[in-house]
Chain A
């Protein structure tokens, strides 16, 4: 019959060797759990960088016409209606803070080794989440240290040498830099 006293008394010592096999099994179980969790949560398709590249390319294709800066862009500068002129959906760029477009134009003569000094402020343009350029720099710094920064945005910067034939107040030969960023992850719809 079941008796509490028999649980705590009447015990004989037994002998059991704690072999290294036990610790090996425990370590294997732990490693399997960790690996399974990592594999499950890393099953992600990250296309942010490609998306940023497509966005930068789309903007470039819109404001550069046969090597010349688009007249509409030169006339309007920072007030350029990029959405209407480049067929980009305004609500997607402005809402959700997932995208960024930045345009900077420099005097070619002030540029050396990909660094330009004299920016033409009249032609500077930006749209979307303003924090993305800094976040991209943070991400690059983190990756140089060996980190991942998976939840940070990805940016794509494209530089072009273009010419101006519409405004005499602006130098003829220019360097156009387009910075586009994406931090879109997508959403599960229930």
Chain B
């Protein structure tokens, strides 16, 4: 049997490009697959949905008047929250001090967005909907 030496360095015959090309193509396919999976997951991931729903809710709150109740359908977000072990009660929260709404769909944090409507706002998840109640702000006596 021909001696090949360490890392085939002793080989004297002409090098065949076929195996090298096949390995290169396989590595390319693996690379592209990883990139596509990464981008697809980043695009449909929690961060984008958190941002979208937080901004949508904030704009609705800004446009609303006291006495209004609004329901926002967020089935896809709630499914994702459940998949990421986030309790539905913790998906949406209002910070009354800083006038902002926070949407949390993963354990990695939440996305917050401020609203300028000076009203008493409360949120609650009901089924597949996020219910937003707008009330007149109670003035401190």
* Chain A residues with a Cβ under 8 A of chain B: 1-3, 6-7, 10, 12, 14-16, 25, 28-29, 32-33, 36, 39-40, 43-45, 47, 50-51, 54-55, 58, 83, 87-93, 96, 98-99, 184, 186-190
CB distance from A142 to the nearest CB of B (A): 23
Interface residues on B, range: 35 or more
Q: Are B12 and A12 in contact (CB under 8 A)?
A: yes
Docked CA distance A152–B47 (Å): 22
- B12, B32, B118: most-surrounded residue (chain A CB, <10 A): B118
Could you give, for residues 85-117 of chain B, a 1 whenever the CB lies within 8 Å of some chain A CB and a 0 otherwise?
A: 000000000000011001000001111111111
List chain A residues, Cβ under 8 A from B115.
89, 92
Contacting A92 at CB < 8 Å: which of B35, B39, B59, B114? B114
Which of A3, A32, A187, A190 gathers most chain B CB within 10 Å?
A187
Which B residues fall within an 8 A CB radius of A? 5-6, 9-10, 12-15, 17, 24, 28, 31-32, 35, 38-39, 42-43, 47-48, 51-52, 54-56, 58-59, 62-63, 66, 98-99, 102, 108-119, 137
Bound form: Cα–Cα A165–B89 in Å? 52
B35 / chain A contacts, CB cutoff of 8 Å: 32-33, 36
Whether A187 pairs with B111 at a CB distance below 8 angstroms is: yes
Q: How far is the CB of B122 from chain A (nearest CB, A)?
A: 16
Please determine whether A190 and B109 come into contact, CB atoms closer than 8 angstroms: yes
